[in-house]
Amino acid sequence: MLLHAQPDDSSRFTTRLLENRYDLSIRNGQFAGAGAPLLRSAIAQSRFVLVGEEHGFAETPLFWTGVCNAAGPEGFHTMAIEEGPLVAASLERWAGLPDGLAELAAFEKQYPESVQIYNTREEFEMLQRCAQSAHGGRFRLWGLNQEALGAAGLILSRILDTSPGAESRAAIEELLRKNDEAYAKALETGRMSNLFILSADDKDLAAGAAVLEKDGSPQAQSLFRSLIESHEINKAWPASAERRSRMMKMLFAARYAEAARSEASPPKVLLKFGAYHLFRGLNPLHASGIGNYVAEFADGLGAQSLHIYVMAVKGSHSFYPKYGQPAQLRPFDLKDDPRSRYLQPMLANLLESGWTMYDLRPLRPLLNGPPGSINADLANLISGMDILVMASQARPATLIR
């Protein structure tokens, strides 16, 4: 919302906003509407396309099918996602299989809560479509997050698959037993905090790491380090946010360097994360996330990064009052949310139905006006994101069971 602005300032902002407003839709997996040519052109000109989202809505993966179908012919075949590296490797494999959805469902039953975002039908089917559209037929997923809250059992099982020595095997099997007890307690109490990756004893983890140093392979040791890292980040959240952000950047740098060595041309990467991670500059929490890192990285390469924010205006989202219990729906409407008042110019000028797309880049010269003439949160959005896409109505994605 414009604050302390003279009428001519407000009018100028609204005029510029409307000049850069477009209708957008997805038809048969392709962008359509007046905004489609602009969006396809922006993707084609970029080496990195970053789409910040609000997790859990069916509309987000729908938008992503359009992104992948536009990006595939331009040489994109890699997507970085907000999952741990171990889970991302499995998702990459399943995305290319005809029965991938069944594989994921079986995995979810064996290792519940190991997948953070792609355990819904819409998200996984989107990955399958992105795999089909990938340039050259080789689709890659980079997991740049810590492993999920239920992933301790998965990690420990993978360590056993490496055939560790007798002492390590006994120690890992004991940790697996404690993991199973923690899961049962979480279901009994309805408290996620009882899950092993949160409740594990630091002394037990230190002992496991020490014994693996004796008779565990480098792979087993690396897997166990990922367990400790995930435990420490998740247990200390939100104080560990900076550590998590640094981990994302380090993982991206390592994967990009590896791809650059093995590919004939510089890799092009799609990044799909929660919106606050992908701001250029400081995000609304006044932190510098992976989005800013990639923007600076692209600039150093003489390349472009494109930052898109996909936002739901109205609908309902799922929440879980107790762990292990069915989800409940909670309605929302940004027009009634005091935290969204800074979006008033966009919300007041939405198209009647479907999706409304605003190209924010032409609005940036207006940020040079008198101090305080534009709300600070709105200014942060305009400088941090290139394009804003607002879905008029959103529904929860369908959990895979």
Q: Could you tell me the residue ranges of all domains in the chain? A: 7-145+240-391, 152-235
Sign of the alpha-carbon torsion through 201, 206, 207, 211: positive
For residues 232 and 29, the answer to whether their CB atoms sit within 8 Å is: no
In 3-state terms the chain splits into helix, strand, coil percentages (rounded to 5) of 55, 15, 30
Band of pLDDT at residue 3, cut at 50, 70 and 90: very low
Q: Is the pLDDT of residue 263 over 70?
A: yes
| Verdict on whether the full-model pTM lies above 0.85 | yes
- Across all residues in the chain, what is the average pLDDT? 95
From residue 312, alpha-carbon distances to 54, 133, 316, 375, 378 in Å are 8, 26, 10, 21, 17
Host H or E run for residue 306: strand 305-312
From residue 31, alpha-carbon distances to 38, 246, 285, 296 in Å are 10, 34, 32, 28
Q: Can you give the pLDDT at residue 383?
A: 98
DSSP 346-387: HHTT--SSSEEEEE-GGGGGGGGSSTTSS-HHHHHHHHH-SE
For residues 147 and 154, the answer to whether their CB atoms sit within 8 Å is: yes
Band of pLDDT at residue 9, cut at 50, 70 and 90: low
Q: What are phi and psi of 38, to 5 degrees?
A: -65, -40
Q: Is the pLDDT of residue 98 over 80?
A: yes
Structure-token match 């037929």, residue found: 137
For residues 230 and 147, the answer to whether their CB atoms sit within 8 Å is: yes
What's the pLDDT tens digit per position in 151-205? 999 999 999 999 999 999 999 999 999 999 999 999 999 999 999 999 999 999 9
Number of other CB atoms surrounding residue 297 within 10 Å: 18
- What is the mean predicted confidence (pLDDT) over 376-396? 97
Q: Can you give the pLDDT at residue 1?
A: 39
Sheet containing 387-391, strands listed edge to edge, beginning at the edge strand earlier in sequence? 30-32, 21-27, 355-359, 387-391, 305-312, 48-53, 269-274, 78-81, 140-143
For residues 86 and 157, the answer to whether their CB atoms sit within 8 Å is: no
Higher pLDDT: 401 or 76? It is: 76
Residue 221, helix vs strand vs coil:
helix
Query: What is d(CA 58, CA 23) in angstroms, rounded to the nearest whole number?
Result: 19
Q: Is the pLDDT of residue 2 over 60?
A: no
